[in-house]
Chain A
Amino acid sequence: GQQLNQSPQSMFIQEGEDVSMNCTSSSIFNTWLWYKQDPGEGPVLLIALYKAGELTSNGRLTAQFGITRKDSFLNISASIPSDVGIYFCAGLAYNTDKLIFGTGTRLQVFP
Chain B
Amino acid sequence: ETGVTQTPRHLVMGMTNKKSLKCEQHLGHNAMYWYKQSAKKPLELMFVYNFKEQTENNSVPSRFSPECPNSSHLFLHLHTLQPEDSALYLCASSQDAVAGIYEQYFGPGTRLTVT
**A in complex with B:** no
Report which A residues bind B (CB closer than 8 A): none
Give B contacts to A, CB under 8 Å.
none
